[in-house]
């Protein structure tokens, strides 16, 4: 691809070349000294002179040998510089007249003065023009600065993605298929009086496939599809975003029926008038223009707007009312079966070993989004390639899962024997509590190999749950407290290793009291824990919901829940002290043991304790 040449460079080179040509061309008049000039006049060899501000151009009566840059040459014209005004020759004119020289004068050129006075200004203008052109991509971009930057598909270019490429999300695909069908066959709906929906908002956590669904709509629809990120409307100049919105909708109407997709809608769709800032900044003007275009004065539009966001809580209410985004399609985290389907999509072009069990991988990845599962498949492929394997095995997937969820192994971190013993009992406490408590999730494996920020880890195997009972929550709190309780019971001291456990436990207990009404004092009320991402505008304007006395009672309920969980964990670990010692010993020896081994040790110690108690009975 040829590189674009700056047009100023050839122009400057042309001017410089012209100046050099004038100075060095053979026809240029030679410059002589002032003394030699007066000698020529005294010898009556000069016919006439033309006097300007700083020099004299003289014409001889006949050619003479005059000096040049390369020697002497015959010339009939010459140039001589005048002396400065303070030492000027005041009798020069009389001297010339006495020798019959015709005297002519030449008015000073205005160009040097213009260059002196206007040159710096012109240079600044040229600099800023060049800077502006460089950043905006050329002359065409200057006139199109307020034009839409949306990419259009469906005419010359088509998107290859279809609904067949989107695993899971059956309800979301059914809703979007209806939109595509309306655009393809509008009369089917209009004869029943149905109106085309104005907007469809795709809502869900990051990585769940909202943009992928929009691409599938583009691939399925036989109508023009305009794709743009909401951040592309924003500029440093006020009014540019609104102008781009207008041109986007104008283009969409010209190609109607059509679809507009706005990704990351929350970047411009935040609530107006919240927190810092007035109502006339660039973002709010852009939002106002979107509101007007979607359901303003004009009612005869055949344009559907798709938008995606993972922060519906901060969107302006005017965006969500009927007539604008009529429908909200929730694109949530995939279920067990959906995770299996997504894994099939992401491994279909990868060579798999016979031992790969996608059912098991789907079971051990609860809470994973589609993007997480794609990353899992890619990491497994990278690990297999790093080990020189011809196929991706189940072990590669499990190693990739550990790397994603737990972090890289920190082999350079060396712990003392005392520290390793504390970590072993800490993780054994988590493992025993998980297996003994009836409503806790079982253990997949236990390890004291440092990974990421953790010195050890107990990996649970969560079950699929829609509703979470208080019994499960209390058991989960007890499991989180198991590490600190084990340290206190079996090492005689406590360490800082329970920091993250306590943070998670406190957050969970806070939600139990403030969101789910599980505290002793507040069984039928939800104050709201506000544990999600903070929206500064709302936080600044939020009034306090409860009194200081209520806050004290909330603190009491949280403390009571945590204390009960800790006491329960200590009782469980004391009752299974023999198992704790054996699990900790195996961890110190092998560093990692599977969940099955933890359960086997618990069964063995229970039988041994039962057999010891039988003779006594």
Q: What is the mean pLDDT of residues 150-173?
A: 72
Confidence tier at 559 by pLDDT (50, 70, 90): very high
Q: What is the mean pLDDT of residues 341-361?
A: 89
Sign of the Cα torsion 336, 341, 346, 350 reads positive
- What CATH number does domain 417-612 carry, 3.90.1210.10, 1.20.58.760, 1.20.120.160, 3.90.1150.10? 1.20.58.760
Using a cut of 0.75, tell me whether the model's pTM lies above it. no
Q: Is 254 left (phi over 0), alpha (psi -120 to 50) or beta?
A: alpha
Q: What is the mean pLDDT of residues 173-191?
A: 81
Q: What is the CATH number of domain 151-330?
A: 3.40.50.300
Q: Do β-strands 258-263 and 225-229 pair in parallel, antiparallel, or remain unpaired?
A: parallel
Residue 449, pLDDT score? 85
Summary count for the chain: helices (H), strands (E): 22, 13
Residue 431, pLDDT score? 93
Top-confidence range, 314-318, 525-529, 581-585:
581-585
Annotated catalytic, 427? yes
Residues 437, 478: Cα–Cα separation, whole Å? 8
Of 27, 145, 3, which Cα lies nearest the Cα of 77? 27
Letter string b/e over residues 492-506, b meaning 16 or more CB atoms within 10 A of that residue's CB: eeebebbeebeeebb
Catalytic residue among 264, 379, 427, 435: 427
pLDDT mean across residues, the chain = 80
Top-confidence range, 64-73, 159-168, 271-280:
159-168
Of 538, 513, 510, which Cα lies nearest the Cα of 523? 513
Task: Report yes or no: 390 and 351 within 8 Å, Cβ to Cβ.
Answer: yes
**Domain 336-406 class?**
mainly alpha
The total of other beta-carbon atoms located within 10 Å of residue 416's CB is 8
Q: What is the DSSP letter of 147?
A: S
Q: Give residues with Cβ within 8 angstroms of 316, minimum separation 6.
A: 269, 270, 271, 272, 287, 291
Burial class (CB in 10 A: 0-12, 13-18, 19+), 579: buried
Residues 49, 47: Cα–Cα separation, whole Å? 7
Q: What is the CATH number of domain 8-108?
A: 3.30.720.210
Instruction: Report the range of poorest mean pLDDT among 229-238, 240-249, 422-431.
Output: 229-238
Q: How does pLDDT run across 468-496, given as a tens digit for each residue?
A: 899 999 999 999 999 999 999 999 888 88
Where in the chain are the domains? 8-108, 112-143, 151-330, 336-406, 417-612
Q: What is the mean pLDDT of residues 506-513?
A: 92
Q: What is the 3-state secondary structure (H, E, C) of 418-472?
A: HHHHHHHHHHHHHHHHHHHCCCCCCEEEEECCCECCECCEEEECCCCCCCCCHHH
Helix (H), strand (E) at residue 77: strand 71-81
Residues 75, 263: Cα–Cα separation, whole Å? 78
Top-confidence range, 101-110, 211-220, 416-425:
416-425
Tokens of 69: 């840059």
Residue 297, pLDDT score? 47
Confidence tier at 382 by pLDDT (50, 70, 90): very high
Locus of tokens 């990996």: 459
Instruction: Report the range of poorest mean pLDDT among 182-186, 197-201, 441-445, 576-580.
Output: 182-186
State percent of the chain over pLDDT 90.
Answer: 18
Q: What is the DSSP string of 359-398?
A: HHHHHT-TT--HHHHHHHHHHHHHHHHHTT-SSB-HHHHH
Q: How does pLDDT run across 57-94, given as a tens digit for each residue?
A: 888 888 888 876 667 777 788 888 888 765 667 788 88
The yes-or-no verdict on residue 249 having pLDDT over 60 is yes
Confidence tier at 143 by pLDDT (50, 70, 90): very low
Same fold for the pair 8-108 and 151-330: no
User: CA end-to-end span of the chain, whole Å?
Assistant: 92
Better-predicted residue by pLDDT, 363 or 4: 363
């Amino acid at each position: 691809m040829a590189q674009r040449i700056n047009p100023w460079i050839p122009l400057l080179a042309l001017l410089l070349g012209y100046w050099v040509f004038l100075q060095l061309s053979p026809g240029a008049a030679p410059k002589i000294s002032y003394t030699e000039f007066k000698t020529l006049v005294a010898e009556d060899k000069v016919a006439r002179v033309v006097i300007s501000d700083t020099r004299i151009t003289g014409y001889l009566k006949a050619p003479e040998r005059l000096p040049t840059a390369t020697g002497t040459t015959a010339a009939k014209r010459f140039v001589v510089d005048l002396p400065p005004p303070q030492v000027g020759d005041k009798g020069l004119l009389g001297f010339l007249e006495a020798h019959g020289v015709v005297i002519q004068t030449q008015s000073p050129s205005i160009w040097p003065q213009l260059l002196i006075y206007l040159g710096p200004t012109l240079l600044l203008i040229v600099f800023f023009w060049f800077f502006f052109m460089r950043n905006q991509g050329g002359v065409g971009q200057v006139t199109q600065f307020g034009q839409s930057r949306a990419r259009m598909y469906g005419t010359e270019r088509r998107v290859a993605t279809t609904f067949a490429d989107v695993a899971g999300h059956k309800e979301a695909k059914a809703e979007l298929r209806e939109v595509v069908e309306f655009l393809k066959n509008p009369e089917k709906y209009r004869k029943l009086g149905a109106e085309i929906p104005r907007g469809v908002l795709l809502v869900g956590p990051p990585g769940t496939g909202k943009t992928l669904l929009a691409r599938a709509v583009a691939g399925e629809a036989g109508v023009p599809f305009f794709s743009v990120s909401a951040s592309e409307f924003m500029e440093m100049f006020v009014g540019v975003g609104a102008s781009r919105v207008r041109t986007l909708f104008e283009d969409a109407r010209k190609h109607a029926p059509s679809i507009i997709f706005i990704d990351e809608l929350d970047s411009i769709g935040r609530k107006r008038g919240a927190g810092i800032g007035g109502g006339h900044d660039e973002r709010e003007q852009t939002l106002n223009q979107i509101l007007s275009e979607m359901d303003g004065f004009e009612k005869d539009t055949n344009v559907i707007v798709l938008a995606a966001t993972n922060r519906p809580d901060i969107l302006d209410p005017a965006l969500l009312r009927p007539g604008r985004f009529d429908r909200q399609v929730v694109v949530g985290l995939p279920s067990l079966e959906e995770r299996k389907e997504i894994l099939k999509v992401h491994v279909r072009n990868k060579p798999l070993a016979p031992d790969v069990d996608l059912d098991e991988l789907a079971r051990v990845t609860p809470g994973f989004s589609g993007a997480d599962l794609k990353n899992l498949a890619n990491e497994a492929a990278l690990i297999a390639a790093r080990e020189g394997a011809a196929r991706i095995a189940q072990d590669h997937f499990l190693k990739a899962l550990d790397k994603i969820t737990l972090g890289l192994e920190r082999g350079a971190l060396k712990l003392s024997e005392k520290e390793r013993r504390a970590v072993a009992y800490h993780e054994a406490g988590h493992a025993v509590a998980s297996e003994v408590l009836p409503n806790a999730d079982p253990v997949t494996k236990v390890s004291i190999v440092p990974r990421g920020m953790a010195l050890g880890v107990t990996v649970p195997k969560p079950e699929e749950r829609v509703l979470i009972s208080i019994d499960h929550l209390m058991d989960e709190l007890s499991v989180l407290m198991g590490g600190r309780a084990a340290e206190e019971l079996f090492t005689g001291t406590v360490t800082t290793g329970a920091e993250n456990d306590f943070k998670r436990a406190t957050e969970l207990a806070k939600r139990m009291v403030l969101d789910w009404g599980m505290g002793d004092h507040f069984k039928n009320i939800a104050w709201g824990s506000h544990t999600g991402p903070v929206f500064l505008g709302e936080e600044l304007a939020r009034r306090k919901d409860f009194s200081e006395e209520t806050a004290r009672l909330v603190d009491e309920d949280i403390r009571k829940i945590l204390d009960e969980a800790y006491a329960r964990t200590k009782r469980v670990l004391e009752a299974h002290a023999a198992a704790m010692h054996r699990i900790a010993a195996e961890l110190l020896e092998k560093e990692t043991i599977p969940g099955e081994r933890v359960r086997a040790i618990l069964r063995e110690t229970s039988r041994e304790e039962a057999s010891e108690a039988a003779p006594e009975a």
